[in-house]
Each structure stands twice: as structure tokens, then as C-alpha cells.
Structure 1
Amino acid sequence: MTTARWESLSALAKPTLATLFAQDEARAARYSTLFEVGAGSEILFDWSKTHLDDAHIAAFEALAQEMAFASQRGALFSGQVVNPTEGRAAEHTAQRFVGSPVAVARAREDHGRMEALVKAIHAGEHGEVRHLIHIGIGGSALGPALVVDALARKDAKLDVHVVANIDGCALEAALAKCDPATTMLAVASKTFTTIETLTNAESALAWLQAAGVANPRERVVALTAAPEKAQGWGVEEGRILSFPESVGGRYSLWSTIGFPIAAALGWDGFAALLEGAAAMDRHFRDTEGAANLPLRAAFADLYYARLRGCQTRAVFAYDERMALLPDYLQQLEMESNGKSVTAEGAPLEGPSAPITWGGVGTDAQHAVFQLLHQGTNLVPVDFIAAIAPGDALDPAHHRILLSNCFAQGAALMAGQASEDGARAYPGDRPSATILLDALTPASLGALIAFHEHRTFASAVLLGINPFDQFGVELGKAIAKRIEAGNASFDASTQALLERAKIA
């Protein structure tokens, strides 16, 4: 039945963007939605420059009903198993206090302990602390790095550095910016066995000890779902902030993994981030059909991936403070929905997630937009910007920034004819725009939660499990075999190992 539904979607007419606007004078308004994030601040979501039309919307709504979207969404929020391969719930929304009562109660308790520790550090109860080096990898690093970079560039309560890469250059760069006498370490690992994280942590401890810090492990805060392992590693119980096993890494910044965010912003800022995300949670949970913003975004994503054969989706943040957002979304979307089997283990018929990539405007205009405008690949684009500037310079800076953002969407759609093929722009190229009134903790929280739910909605429509990530394990397992020196490989790999003097 689902195959027939996709076939019926494929059979629908595909008018050009120019035709869609010509046939509907109210299209810009009908395909745009204002979402309130609190205190009169809003986010505009505009899908009018995508090829979605009423017929496709109706067909996608029918697909959502056929795939039991409402019941699967209910299972997510009620704490039922939605990760069947690992037999787990996915309770990241409970960290924003929207979820099952048991999970929400646990989250309030964990957040209470984190709040007390953050406030104690800010009050000087742990000595003078001016720097925090947060060590993690994947979701344990990308989320904190994104939020700290976006919101703590000015007036940060602590100088926070996020280190993920096992490449020692990354840790050395962070250490060079910190005074060991006033530095704390946050070690973030769900299992507290992650080799990259623990190796970096040991080197940071050695740096503290070499600088004369008497007991470096007293400077460590552990963020983990395995507190007993953190204790075994030498962290005192009072500096271990736990979170549930049901919170996945790429969804964990709302949990105690967000400790560096709270340390940088202050507790009120972190609480506002949670509330902005919770506002999106409630919208996603309570809104039906295409009026549901993440679901409508999933319709657009699958329209291009499934019906137009688009293998990539581009995200451009026209705001330097959101420079890390494309990186964050790469992990969120590709680790979640980069699957080739259904949730039942059957081969997936058709493509799943597109490749997510992107950059920062206006830099990207001088790098990759040539392909977007005149290349042979059709690439749907998301533009993300904020009306209020993040700087105090001449307003011309922000005016030019936003003018370029809006102009790119208009140019992709309209194109420009020319007898000179090198100067011809085909147009009819899609984009969506997400325009924040201002980049605040609440609006950023809502924006990230929107993308989480967009990813989940796409997974439901595809019939896949977005909450496991076995694809990241094989290479790591082989790396451990190399480190242990007990494996043989193909001739190419063996030659590389010998060339690098690892074998």
C-alpha cells in the first residue's frame, strides 16, 4: 500500500515555481507560518519557494496517516519504545519537561543537580574558575559547541572551549587559551568508555598536573549515563551529572550534556533554551497535518529526495553566530536517517535521507552558489537568518547580509534568461527560509527542536528507525583492532599502516 502511495505521489503534476505563484496570489502567505517562541518573539517558516502544492500536501498527509504518524508521535512523547533495534525509548523531549511523567520527574531532578553545581561554580565555591574545557565527541560535543558559539560570544560567564577531535592539535589549541590555575574540565561520554574522549581527558589532566595543580581530578565534572564508570575513573560523586540511557547523543544537549552551555550562559539562559524547545515540542505534539511545522518540512524534504531524486540538501546560515548549525544538522539528520532498511529490517525501497551540507552566508556565495544556480544538480536550500543583528557596528553590515540572503532565494527561483549560455540561469530552483526575529536562547532552542522533529517525521514517513546508529561502529571497531595489533587487512590498508609506522 505504501509503495502505491509513493507511486501516486510521483504521478502528480509538478508545476514550476513561477506557475505556482502565478496561479495563487496568496501563495507566499499560505505557505508561510509564524511561530511564537515567547515574549513576542517569532520565527517565520516560509516554504512558498518549494514545489509543494495543495495536491502534494494532501497526498503526503494521506501517507502520514497510512504510516501511523500520530500514533508513532504519541509513542515518542509517552516514553514507549521507538528504537526497536535497541529496545529503547527516545526521551530527549522529557529533558525539556515535555514527555512521560516519570521521565520528566527524572529530568527535573538531574537538572536541579546541574543547576546547583553551575551556580556554585559561578559563586566561587569551587575556587576561581574562568575557563571550562568541555571534552566529548559527536553529539556530546556538537550540541554544546553550537549553542555556546551562537549565544556566548559576548558576556559569557565562563570562557568555554569544546574539544572533540582525537587529533592532539585540537586539544593543544584549547589548552593554549586557558590558565590551568583557573580551568575546570567537563568530560562528556554517555558510556564513559569513548576512547577519543577519555584519551583527550587524560592529556588534559596531565596538563593540569604539569602546571602544578595538586589534584587535577578534583577539577573534573563528568557528564554521563554511566555514573559508576565515571566514579571508577576517579570523579567524585558530587561532580557527576547523570542523564538517562534513553537520551541519545545527538539529542543530548538538553540534558546534563548541556552543562557547558549553562556554565557559559548562566542558568537562566539555559532554562530559556529549554523553554524555546519545549514550545516547539508542544506544537509538534498537538498540531495535526500540514499545519505541523516539522511535518510540513518533512513533506518538502521527501518531495525532493523521493520525487525529484535530489541526493543532497543545503543549509546556509546567514548569521556568523550560527556557523556551526550545518555541522550540527549533518549529524542529526544523516546519523538518524542514513539507513537502508526499515524499522522491521526489510530493505528500504527508495532513498532515505539526503546528504546534508552547507555553510555560512555570505561566504558560501563566493564558493558553492555557482553550482546551486547553474550546475546540473537540483539542490533544495534552506536559508536561516535573524532580523536583529548580533553586532553593534554600522547597520549596513546586517542590511547587506539580509539583502543577500533574500536575493539568493529570489534568484534561485526566478533565474535569468540569456542567449549566452554561460550567463543563463535556469531558475525554478527551490529554497525555504527560516527567519528569526532575533537569535536568543528561546529561538535557538525552538529552531533546534524543530529540526529534531523534522528528522523524526521524515523517519516515520519512510518507515525507518532514526534512533540507532550502528553505521558508526564498524570503523571504530577496526581501529581498536589496529591499536591492539591483532588484525590483518587488504593490501592497501596494510601498506598505509606500514607507511605510517603503525603496523
Structure 2
Amino acid sequence: MAKAAGDAIGAAWDRIRGVKLHALADLFAADDARVAKLSGRIDWGEDLTAGGILFDWTKTHLDDELLGGFEELASAVDFSAARAKLLSGAKINATEGRAAEHTAPRGTGAEASVEEAQALLARMKMLVDAIHDGALGEVKHLIHIGIGGSALGPDLAVDALTRDLAKVDVHVVSNIDGVALEQAFALCDPQTTMLAVASKTFTTIETMTNAASALKWLGDNGVDDPSGRVVALTASPEKAVEWGVDETRVLPFMESVGGRYSLWSSIGFPVALGAGWDEFEAMLAGAQMVDQHFASTEGRANLPLRAAFADQYYTRVRGCQTRAVFAYDERLALFPSYLQQLEMESNGKRVTAAGEPVDGPTAPVTWGGVGTDAQHAVFQLLHQGTHLIPVDFIASIAPGDMLDPAHHRILLTNCFAQGAALMAGGNMASDGKDPARAFPGNRPSATMLCDDLDAATLGALIAFHEHRTFANAVLMGINPFDQFGVELGKKMANDIERGDAEFDASTRALLGAAGLA
């Protein structure tokens, strides 16, 4: 059976690699229906304030032949079965022996898990409402302390959703560098500040060190009961209580919710506190709209799977080592950083789920920035450099500001023009012959155009990329839900702290130069 599956996978890849490479302009010329075929929308109803997202993959090299080959690959790896395992709460994370139930807080998954997740969210809502109602005294500031998935998602969502008005001023601190924590202290009044400590295990050294320093800051500045100002967000509630958090202020989440997928759980507490419960709930609902599409749509019509087809083509067939993401919206300034962890920690693997060496490249390096800033920094390389780099553009039709509409019009025209220019190329010399002014074109991009950037849209965007990441993993046969690659360096850092390890000559010299040995 395994040999038959392997043969089918190999045959699908042979078919994909055998498709003739066509220029993007030729693909448009050959198919009048190309825009309709390679664009699709996910919409939501009036209860979310009607809106949606247009996903345009027309300026990629996907065509009917490639899509057919990738659908054959999806069938060979039994994508439908893997998706069903994910959404049913099966132990799809085989190396750690657990499920991956980040969709459960959004209402998608095994019935018992959905009930448990939503009960935990109801507990969180009670605390959020109590704080907003003043039951815990005046609370103007929240310092949210976490790292990795416990910080990147909350930071993104708070930044995106609270720029107009925040119910509570939220500062997310992740770095162990004390400068980051001191910067938050400088912006907060300790008498009206609460702390959220976010750690799945409640043992993460950076988080717990920062939390201890934040408690000391509260005490040093006249707060009588610093521990009473702490909310713990964790899958290990007993450790939080042992650390000193009142059990009524421990907000647990399920062990089967992984760190970088945990925004939807109590890790989203700072989002609910800062933006309001209605906004947090809308974010969950927008994500659920994508869950429903992902669960019920087959083949190339499944938009996260179609995005994964393009990712696999550029990484494994065209040899692209990076993928760039540019948000033409200041509110999504942190989105590329969020995607870096989601995609590279999930799919930056060198063995399959069965423990065998992978047979090709896995995750590309994800990077990016904000338009139009990036146009004056890195787009030179995208247009004229020697690297082929697929680009994703993200924009919103509705502006996020109240200024002259010229601002948003210029923003959008630049976004769309960059995609067009990457594809078309040309020569800007008057005689059309100057090689320094030549643009080769035929460079791929995709565009995600949102009707508006509200909470539902943000949730949908994040969920789309979660499912895209999972789809890529299934097509490559790897497990996207473990992250052992982050552990070795942390272990060696702990070894240095304990002074019980030998290192290479260079590391010993650096430790000596820094006064650490």
C-alpha cells in the first residue's frame, strides 16, 4: 500500500514537472477565462457586516495543466483524509501524540472539543467584562508578556484593531532584552496596569523572567498586591497557581491548541480586552467562514489549497527559496512577522511525518514589509534582481483613515501597479535598449483584496494562512505541528547558565569577551 501511494505521488510530481513553462502574459493571452478561473472570494453574511476577501492567483504560473497535476498530487497524498483528521480532533501531530484543535474555539471541530473551547472562552469573557465594568478597579493599561505564538498573534491583532480607539491600552512584550520591558513600563501607570502572562507550559524562560521583573516593577511603584494584578493564559493552570496567580484569574486553553495557532484561545485575551469582546468574537467568526470553505470545498476551488499549489510549484519546481508578503495597509504592518513564525516554524522541516528525509525543499523563507515603504527599499531586487521571488500583496478597498481619499487611492494604485509591473516588465529607456533600465517581467504575484480590514477580515486572513500552511505540509508529507528545531539553542543557552557544558573555541571566546565565562 505504501509503495502504491509513493508511486502515485511520484507520478503526480512527474506530471507537474513535465508541464511546459509559459510566460504569464502568454497564459492570459491563451485563456480569456483566466481571471474567472484563478480568482475566488470568501464572503460572510450580514451578521458579520457583509464583506469578504477576493483571492487573485491569476498572475502566477498556475494553469489548467498544473492545477490538474496538483489535484492529482492532492489525491495521491490523500489530502481529504488529512483534512478530515485535522478537523475531527484526531491525533494528527504524531510526534507529540496530540491533536491540533485550533479551529475548536472558532466552532469547527469535534463536538466535545468545541464545547470545551467555547466554555473556556465564556470564562474569559466573564473576566474581560468584569475588567471593563470596573470590578477590578481602574484598568487603563495591560502589559501582555509572552513570546512566539503567545505574542505574535496578539500583537498583530491588537495593532490592527485598536488604532482608532482602545478600551484598554495594550503593550505586548516578548523579548528578554530588558529594553523592551522598560519601554512598556514607561508608557504605563503602575496603579492602573494589569499583567497578562501567556505561556502554554508556564515555564518559558523569557516569559517567566519578564513576568518576574514586571511584578517587581509593580511592587516597587507602590502596588500593594502585584500578584493580584496578574492574569495567566496557559494550558498548565496548576503551574500558574503555583507561581502565585489567583485561580480566578487563570484562563486556561486546551493542550491540543498549539502556540502559533493559539490566538483564538485565551491567548487572545489582550485582543478582547483592548478591542472589546464583540471585536474578538467577530475575529473568530471571520476565521470560521474560512474554516467552512476549507472543510467543504474540493480541489482547485479550495482557495487555501490552491495557494499551496502555487507555493509548491515555486518552491519545488522553480527553486524559489523565499516568498515575500507586502501589506498595503499600515494596520497589517505586523502581518509578515506573524507569517514568518506560522509558516517557517510549521513547515521548516527536513524529515517527513514518518521520520524519513524529505525529497525536496520544504518551507521557503517568508519575509516582507508594508507598501508603499517597501517600494523604496526592496522592490529593486524584486523587479531587477537575479532571484525569482513570488510575492503576495494584501490590501483593503475601504481605507483605514479619514484623510483626503487621495491617500488611499495612491496606496491602492501602487499595490495593483506593482503586480502588473512584475508581470509585464519592459524597458524605461527612451529607445528601449538600455539594459540598466530593463525589467524582465514574468515575475509572479498574488493579491488578497479585502472589502474592509475589520475584525472578521483579520480573522479570515489569519485562518486562510493557517490552512494554507497545513495544505503545504500535507502535500510535502510533513508534520506542521511540532517545532523541535527551536529547542536545541534554548537547551545550550540553559547549559551556559548552569556552567555545565563544553563549547567550541569560538563560542568560548565570545563568552569570555562578554564576561560570561
TM-score (normalizing by structure 2): 0.97
2:18 corresponds to which residue?
Answer: 11
2:412 corresponds to which residue?
Answer: 402
Structure 1 residue 442: deviation in Å? 0.4
User: Alpha-carbon deviations, 1:311-333, whole Å to 9, x = none?
Assistant: 00000000000000000000000
1:477 equivalent among 491, 495, 502: 491
Structure 1 residue 35: deviation in Å? 1.3
Instruction: Find the residue that maps to 2:426 and give its secondary structure.
Output: coil
User: Alpha-carbon deviations, 1:336-379, whole Å to 9, x = none?
Assistant: 00011100000000111111000000000011000000000000
CA distance in 2, matches of 1:307, 1:390: 39
Instruction: Find the residue that maps to 1:315 and give its secondary structure.
Output: strand
* Long gaps (5+) in structure 2: 1-6
What code does the residue aligned with 2:18 have? A
Instruction: Find the residue that maps to 2:516 and give its secondary structure.
Output: coil
Structure 1 residue 25: deviation in Å? 1.7
Instruction: Find the residue that maps to 1:50 and give its secondary structure.
Output: coil
CA distance in 2, matches of 1:116, 1:277: 22
What code does the residue aligned with 2:489 have? G
Structure 1 residue 485: deviation in Å? 1.3
Structure 1 residue 265: deviation in Å? 1.1
2:144 equivalent among 124, 134, 138: 134
User: Alpha-carbon deviations, 1:452-487, whole Å to 9, x = none?
Assistant: 000000000000000000000000000000111111
* Long gaps (5+) in structure 1: none
2:40 corresponds to which residue?
Answer: 33
Structure 1 residue 488: deviation in Å? 1.6
C-alpha contact (below 8 Å) 2:396/2:452 kept by paired residues: yes
1:282 corresponds to which residue?
Answer: 292
1:495 corresponds to which residue?
Answer: 509
2:81 corresponds to which residue?
Answer: 71
What code does the residue aligned with 2:447 have? T
Structure 1 residue 154: deviation in Å? 1.3
User: Alpha-carbon deviations, 1:389-446, whole Å to 9, x = none?
Assistant: 1111111111111110000000000000331110000000000000001001101101
Per mean C-alpha deviation after superposition, the further-off stretch among 182-191 and 40-49 is 40-49
Equivalent residues in 2 for 1:445-484, closer than 5 Å? 445-484=459-498
Structure 1 residue 245: deviation in Å? 0.8
CA distance in 2, matches of 1:187, 1:102: 27
Equivalent residues in 2 for 1:179-258, closer than 5 Å? 179-258=189-268
2:31 corresponds to which residue?
Answer: 24
Per mean C-alpha deviation after superposition, the further-off stretch among 27-36 and 403-412 is 27-36
2:337 corresponds to which residue?
Answer: 327
What code does the residue aligned with 2:156 have? L
What code does the residue aligned with 1:497 have? L
Instruction: Find the residue that maps to 2:152 and give its secondary structure.
Output: helix
Instruction: Find the residue that maps to 1:345 and give its secondary structure.
Output: coil
Structure 1 residue 5: deviation in Å? 2.1
C-alpha contact (below 8 Å) 1:37/1:446 kept by paired residues: no
2:130 corresponds to which residue?
Answer: 120
What code does the residue aligned with 1:199 have? T
2:4 corresponds to which residue?
Answer: none
Structure 1 residue 6: deviation in Å? 1.3
What code does the residue aligned with 2:213 have? S
What code does the residue aligned with 2:385 have? G
1:411 matched to 2:421: yes
Structure 1 residue 26: deviation in Å? 2.1
User: Alpha-carbon deviations, 1:290-311, whole Å to 9, x = none?
Assistant: 1101000000100100110000
CA distance in 2, matches of 1:170, 1:396: 36
1:53 matched to 2:63: yes
Instruction: Find the residue that maps to 2:240 and give its secondary structure.
Output: helix
1:375 corresponds to which residue?
Answer: 385
Instruction: Find the residue that maps to 1:134 and give its secondary structure.
Output: strand
Instruction: Find the residue that maps to 1:277 and give its secondary structure.
Output: helix
Instruction: Find the residue that maps to 1:51 and give its secondary structure.
Output: coil
Instruction: Find the residue that maps to 1:129 and give its secondary structure.
Output: coil
1:177 matched to 2:187: yes
Equivalent residues in 2 for 1:344-359, closer than 5 Å? 344-359=354-369
CA distance in 1, matches of 2:235, 2:99: 14
Structure 1 residue 147: deviation in Å? 0.3
Equivalent residues in 2 for 1:77-96, closer than 5 Å? 77-96=87-106
CA distance in 1, matches of 2:53, 2:382: 26
Instruction: Find the residue that maps to 1:124 and give its secondary structure.
Output: coil
2:3 corresponds to which residue?
Answer: none
Runs of 4+ in 1 over 2 A off after TM superposition: 37-40
Structure 1 residue 112: deviation in Å? 0.5
C-alpha contact (below 8 Å) 2:350/2:362 kept by paired residues: yes
2:274 equivalent among 255, 264, 267: 264
Structure 1 residue 176: deviation in Å? 0.4
CA distance in 2, matches of 1:465, 1:473: 17
Structure 1 residue 140: deviation in Å? 0.1
What code does the residue aligned with 1:9 have? I
Instruction: Find the residue that maps to 2:151 and give its secondary structure.
Output: helix
2:448 equivalent among 415, 434, 445: 434
2:439 corresponds to which residue?
Answer: 425
C-alpha contact (below 8 Å) 1:37/1:43 kept by paired residues: no
What code does the residue aligned with 1:95 have? P
1:296 equivalent among 299, 306, 325: 306
What code does the residue aligned with 1:167 have? D
1:392 equivalent among 386, 402, 424: 402
CA distance in 2, matches of 1:189, 1:11: 47
CA distance in 1, matches of 2:170, 2:275: 10
Task: Please provide the CA RMSD for this pair.
Answer: 0.7
Q: State, as a whole percentage, how many aligned pairs show the same letter.
A: 68
